Chains A and B, each alone.
Chain A
Amino acid sequence: MSTLLSFDRVNAYYGNAHILHDFSLDVHEGESLALIGRNGVGKTTVVNALLGQARVRSGSISVDGRARPRWRPYMPAKQGVMVVPQGRHIIANLTVEENLLLGAAIQAKGPWNLERIYQLFPILKERAHTPGTALSGGQQQMLAIGRSLMGNPRLMILDEPTEGLAPVIVDQLGEIIRQVNDQGTTILLIEQNLHLVAGVSRRYLAVEKGSVVASGEVDPQRIEQLQQFVVV
């Protein structure tokens, strides 16, 4: 099993604030991995370091075994790593369909295209020509996922996708992420919602104060054991 994304003893900073401390992580091709932890422990900084938005002073980040001295925001996508950002970031002056087309910017070949996205999310087809931000929160999350799928990613990183969503939508979301994983896309789910983690992830890493403090298999029957890592 090859490693798609790897952080090797990464120390990342915002200005002088030291956020990630010797942070290491390996995401293997095909798996569904969860990164769990409370607010402020540095989960989103993992994404920001990969996008070059947090400064990496030591350690290395590699995609497909290829490390770079400096990552820029457009580089991961070109290597098949698409991020569904926290807060969804639907682009306000584009329609639903244009937001989806933006996701196809790298023109990667693969199973996903506009037609398949509309099959998966019929509501997006109905509202294809309305502004992306006119959708409800749950629909915007579907759009954000659809948009990254348009890039036919090998790895999809979802950063707190349940933020602000109703529980019934969270269940739908879990079903969709499982489908995407079953069709071959590797998943890295950054979450505090253990209900979703139990539904979609098979392995977890727990983060505290910018380092990985625990890891193991996700057992949906005994998910409450992971509570200690997410409750305040």
Chain B
Amino acid sequence: MLGISIFNGLVYGSLLVICASGLAMIYGLRRVVNFAHGALYMLGAYIGYTLSIYLNFWFALVLAPLAMLVIGMLLDKAVFRPLQDRDPLSVLLVTFGLLLVFEDLVRAVWGRGNLSIDVPELLSSSVELFGNPTPLYRLAVIGLGVGSMVALWAWLRFSRTGLYVRAASTDPLTTAMMGVNTERVNALVVGIGTALAGLAGVAAGPMLSLAPSMGGDVLVDSFVVVVIGGLGSLGGALVSAILLGQVQSFGTIYLPSLSAVLPFLMMIAILIWRPSGLAGNRV
């Protein structure tokens, strides 16, 4: 029982860390509180659904995030860049508007009903884990979470562009003075953040059902993760996503009446203890 709970917590934590790291990156560079992030997760899942029907799941897993990368870069160019000198509250309202637009768009194209993505054949079996049969797909989602975090970390830590991203997140003007076109870096980061939301959406497809409102819970949990982790911090987001996954998983079993408020109780407790989040202001 205990083993299963920890495992399920890790599965949800993995989805959350993929989604929330995108949110954290967009905030870290653009200082945009992106209320549309859950809708981007949902859009990624729907694009993945269509691709999985016409091609197969594996194409969907690769192509849907790529499509979201392009959508994210367009979003930066069309919305975030023109609004960059505006007051943060109006940008927040615009992203809230985008959320509504994306949800209606999806309703218009895919309908209101619930859909689901089929589990790929390769991962449709179960393995024995802690004495219980465990779907292989769920195990693979944990692998995807670990893999994408390692890839993201390595990109930020070792690549030239990663260096520019880290520099621009603390001092965009000085970074630009060195000849870095920070507008392009921003567009790329918003694109990657959006692609991560889409990746989480596709990965969630075979486990959770697709509905236009599916982004809501993930958005709220991602915000909790980003706030607990320390705004804009990826390491903090990783730790707090794993924590939150566990809290959700154990909460539904042992404290079902409180499970909906547990994430917020956890957030309050951690912010009292460390007001700027687990990682403070470090990236």
Q: How far is the CB of A226 from chain B (nearest CB, A)?
A: 29
Q: Does B208 contact A (CB under 8 A)?
A: no
Contact B174 A85 (CB under 8 A): yes
A77-106 interface with B by 8 A CB criterion: 77-78, 82-83, 85, 89, 91-94, 98, 101-103, 105-106
Contact B175 A151 (CB under 8 A): no
Task: List chain B residues, Cβ under 8 A from A93.
Answer: 166-167, 169-170, 282-283
Contact with B along A57-95 (1 / 0, CB 8 A): 000000000000000111011100011010001011110
Contact B178 A77 (CB under 8 A): yes
Task: List chain B residues, Cβ under 8 A from A77.
Answer: 177-179
Q: Does B182 contact A (CB under 8 A)?
A: yes
Q: Does B140 contact A (CB under 8 A)?
A: no
Q: How far is the CB of A92 from chain B (nearest CB, A)?
A: 6
Task: List chain B residues, Cβ under 8 A from A82.
Answer: 177-179
- Size bracket, chain B contacts: 20 to 34
Contact A91 B177 (CB under 8 A): no
Task: List chain B residues, Cβ under 8 A from A148.
Answer: 178
Q: Does B250 contact A (CB under 8 A)?
A: no
Contact B181 A89 (CB under 8 A): no
C-alpha spacing A77/B174, complex, angstroms: 11
C-alpha spacing A93/B170, complex, angstroms: 7
Q: Does A51 contact B (CB under 8 A)?
A: yes
C-alpha spacing A77/B180, complex, angstroms: 8
Q: With A93-B282, A93-B283 as given contacts, are A105 and B180 in contact (CB-CB < 8 Å)?
A: yes
Q: Does A43 contact B (CB under 8 A)?
A: no
The DSSP consensus for interface residues of chain B is helix
C-alpha spacing A76/B176, complex, angstroms: 10
Number of residues on chain A facing chain B (CB within 8 A): 25
Task: List chain A residues, Cβ under 8 A from B174.
Answer: 85, 89, 91
C-alpha spacing A102/B160, complex, angstroms: 8
Q: Does A113 contact B (CB under 8 A)?
A: no
C-alpha spacing A36/B282, complex, angstroms: 39
Kindly name the residue among B169, B180, B182 whose own CB sees the greatest number of chain A CB atoms within 10 A.
Answer: B180
Task: List chain A residues, Cβ under 8 A from B169.
Answer: 93
Task: List chain A residues, Cβ under 8 A from B182.
Answer: 73-74
Q: How far is the CB of A153 from chain B (nearest CB, A)?
A: 10
Contact with B along A23-60 (1 / 0, CB 8 A): 00000000000000000000000000001010000000
Q: How far is the CB of A77 from chain B (nearest CB, A)?
A: 3
Residue in chain A with minimal CB distance to B171: A91
Residue in chain A with minimal CB distance to B281: A93
Contact A74 B179 (CB under 8 A): yes
18 contacts between A and B (CB under 8 A): A74-B176, A74-B177, A74-B179, A74-B182, A82-B178, A82-B179, A85-B174, A89-B171, A91-B170, A91-B171, A93-B282, A93-B283, A94-B167, A102-B178, A105-B164, A106-B178, A147-B178, A151-B178
